[in-house]
Structure 1
Amino acid sequence: MANEEMEKEGPIILITNDDSIAAPGIKALVEAVEGLGRVVVVAPDKPQSGMGHAITIGHPLRLQKSFIIPGVEAYTCTGTPVDCVKLAVDKILHRKPDICLSGINHGANHSINVIYSGTMSAAMEAAIESIPSAGFSILDYSMEADFTAAKIYIRKIAGMMLTTKLDKHLLLNVNFPALPPDLIKGIKICRQAYAKYEEDFLERKDPHGKDYYWLTGEFVNFDEGTDTDVWALANDYVSLVPVQFDLTNYELKKKLESSWSL
């Protein structure tokens, strides 16, 4: 597409998630950015929580047009959230969107959750492809979650992403407390807390007497800092963490270069 045609078309906003196209959160995300550009939704046809950055390589992927969100160009994909982003760019848009937004996830994606999250991995895939992106989550697992406040802040953030010249690999992890707008104190730009799940596997037997295991666990915060996403959310702020996909530990790299004889 020529540059003149792209400018005339306006910005393209790609929307995806990991809770499936039927989840209330993705409809709320579409509503949050209505009017900011051409919205195109490509989302999994079934829940894909905890898929991380998985891609489908062992069987074919299928795309199907969806009319579940009235008035919005939408497609379902049989693959993972990352598959959705790859197919959207290559087979639907035939160009890179201006921004990619993922969510709104039902449940927290703060601290270590960013590693496992399909929501954030979809946004990360876009950032890898030089598409500024953000993943949004609310600390409420209910399908009846109130997204009123989230939509207000998403519109602000998306507007800034579309009007501010930022790094093409921009990747934001945004979490919302489950509160009405008047009780949220604002946005805190944070670092990722050192917190994790202390996991346990419940051992049970199925009706045939065979053992199976059910993953459970308790979220434990080891980080007492007041500049973390966990702290911000516990104190009624929206947390915004700039994330990167370069996992290199540069400080350790320098130490190893000077101390190891290899």
Structure 2
Amino acid sequence: MADNRPPRILLSNDDSIHANGFAVLEKIAAQISDDVWVCAPETEQSAASHSLTIHRPLRLRKLGEKRFAVDGTPTDCVLLAVNHIMKDCKPDLVLSGVNHGRNIAEDVTYSGTIAAAMEATLLGIRAIALSQELPYDKAPDWSAAEKWGPEVVRRAMAVDWPPQVLVNANFPARSGDQVAGIKVVAHGNRKIGDELVERKDPRGRSYFWIGTSRNDDLIPDNTDSHAISEGHVSVTPLYLDLTHYDTIGRLKKAFS
């Protein structure tokens, strides 16, 4: 920091304040600063995306010094923390995660973990989202995030990045000692949701589960998907300006 004080850090997530990955995030933050605040959902909000609660009141519970829980979405949590809890001492950095599962490629459009970082970015605060790839058939191993998370945060903080940009970091499903290193890569393309499982309820009516399978046949090099598959930590800057500028000119001509 410019005044040599440690950064004031706000922590949030989408898996809830009680999640194992959130405890990992607290360990990571403790290695960066002793000025750490918490405002996270009371219950799991996975795939909540950038949703905001506007049709019911929100409840804010104080669980301890600098520690709060909200009965809402990750976006609600960051909004309440920055504009209410910390309005007189706003954070320098928001860390979101560590998510139970990777947030790469098209995952970022669904992810509540990314959404918390997005909200911070929109509020003018630098933010880093952290996610840990975990296999479904084994006990969770968070050691990659625990070992490499502090380094990712420190290196990212040392870089100036422009407004409307957040950093998305993903840790591979390997132990910390087996991680191949860190790669700064582009946002990939792997769509979830093509697997739909149809079943019948006791009354014979259909219901569906949206599966997690993706097409892994073609994973472009130099993307988050490829980096994770090769055992690297992926670091990707995400830009919130969704305008496709190359198309503006063609549309202007079409509508002129």
Asked if Structure 1 and Structure 2 have the same fold, meaning a TM-score greater than 0.5 normalized by the shorter chain, the answer is: yes
Q: 4+ runs of 1 displaced by more than 6 Å?
A: none
TM-superposition CA deviations, 1:27-61 (whole Å, max 9, x none): 11110121422111111000000010000011010
Structure-2 separation of matches of 1:224 and 1:201: 22
Aligned residues: 252
Q: String of CA shifts for 1:126-175, please: whole Å, max 9, x gaps.
A: 11111110111111166952222212322122223444433244301111
CA deviation map 1:209-248 (0-9, x unaligned): 4332222252114754211111111111111110011111
Distance 1:75 1:194, change over 3 A: same
SS of the residue aligned with 1:127? helix
3-state SS in 1 of match to 2:49: coil
Matching of residues 234-253 of structure 1 within 5 Å = 234-253=229-248
1:183 maps to 178
Q: C-alpha offsets along residues 72-121 of structure 1, whole Å, 9 cap, x if unaligned?
A: 73111001000000000011111431000100000111100000000001
Residue type of the alignment partner of 1:203: E
Aligned CA RMSD, in angstroms, stands at 2.2
Q: How far apart in 2 are the matches of 1:211 and 1:97?
A: 47
Q: 1:198, 1:13 → 2: CA distance?
A: 34
CA, structure 1 residues 42+160, in 2 after alignment: closer, same or farther (shift >3 Å)? Answer: same
- Deviations, residues 163-219 of structure 1 (Å, cap 9, x unaligned): 443324430111110112222111111111121125243332322343322222521
Matched, 1:90 2:87: no
Which amino acid in the other structure matches residue 11 of structure 2? Answer: I
Q: Distance in 2 between matches of 1:162 and 1:117?
A: 23
Instruction: Mark the runs of 5 or more structure 2 residues left unpaired by the alignment.
Output: none
The TM-score with structure 2 as length reference comes to 0.90
Alpha-carbon contact 1:129-1:169 (below 8 Å) kept: no
TM-score (norm 1): 0.88
Partner in structure 2 of residue 62 of structure 1 = 59
Inter-partner Cα distance in structure 1 for 2:145 and 2:212:
27
Aligned to 2:146, which of 151, 165, 169?
Answer: 151
Distance 2:194 2:212 in 1: 4
Pair 1:20-2:16 in alignment: yes
Q: What is the one-letter code of the residue matched to 2:61?
A: Q
Query: What is the percent sequence identity of the aligned residues?
Result: 36
Matched residue of 2:32: which SS?
Answer: coil
